Structures are given as structure tokens and as C-alpha cells.
Amino acid sequence: MDTKLGLLLLAGLLGATPALAQGDTTSASTAATNIAIKVCNNTSYTTLIATDYLAVNYPDKNWWTNEGWYTVAPNDCKIVAHTGNTIFYLRAEEQGGTHYWAGEFGHCVVYPGPYNTQEDARSSECPSGSEPKEFFRVTTTFNSGVYTWTLTP
């Protein structure tokens, strides 16, 4: 389990305000030329997408771009980001509802958004005004092209 989420869950069990644990900065070393992150929404809900990725040609591998919320209409697809890394993180939520798609990796989001922040992978806490949420970790097997994440009900 990711350290950020582990501390997030432990803090919740102890009644503390969740904080993010230090991230693994070594994952940022997997260079890619340009991967487009595409989300296809195969549900009847309008969804909101959050991303955490290393920007294309970003010089400092410890700082990740954290963005949200991109709107993807039902039965539509949208490219939400481009990354220079084969590893990135995604989260989706039903707009105004209770459905969400998430994994085990804690990253910071801002409600209601939109937001665009830089997240230090070495940090143990979310910046002021943001809160930790779980994200899927994606590791691609290619260095350029389009990664498509398909949301299903």
C-alpha cells in the first residue's frame, strides 16, 4: 500500500486530520516523451477528473502537476493532460453525486475547483486549502501515445 494512503487511513482511524506521507520520488525517473491522458466516460453521469502527473519536459522530478476538475460528459471522451512520465495518478467523481473511481494512492485535491497546483513528492502534507483523496496509479508500458482510462458504471 502507498505510504501516503497508509498514513491517511491510519490518521482517520485515530481521529486525526489526514495528512499525506512522503512520496516515492524515484517513480518520477521513468522518462517518456509525451503521453496524452484520455478519459472516456461510459456512464450516464457527468464526471469530474483529477490528475497528478509529471509535466512534459518539467526540469524538477520532485514537483508534480496536480489538476482538477476536468468535466467529461456521459458517453464522451476527453484528453485531460499530457505527461513526460510513464507513471501518473487519476481520480474520477460523479458531478454532484456519490459515485467515484479511485485507488490506493493519496494525493491532494481542491474543492470545488478548478485547481492547478504543484505537489512536492517529498511533502508529508497537503497544502492549505486542499485535502487528501485516493487516486489510481497508472504505469504505462509505452513512452509516447495515448493512454485511455474508460469509466464504467
**What does the pLDDT look like over 143-152, one tens digit per residue?**
889 999 999 9
Q: What is the pTM of this model?
A: 0.77
Mean pLDDT of 96-125: 90
Backbone angles phi, psi at 2, to 5 degrees: -60, 140
Average pLDDT, the chain: 80
- Per-residue model confidence as pLDDT tens digits over 54-84: 776 666 777 888 999 999 999 999 999 988 8
Please tell me which residue, 142 or 1, carries the higher pLDDT value.
142
Cell numbers that stand for 12 in this block: 482517520
Q: Which long-range contacts (CB under 8 A, 24 or more apart) does 5-14 make?
A: 5/104, 5/105, 5/106, 5/134, 7/106, 7/124, 8/106, 8/132, 8/134
The fraction of the chain above a pLDDT of 70, given in percent, is 75
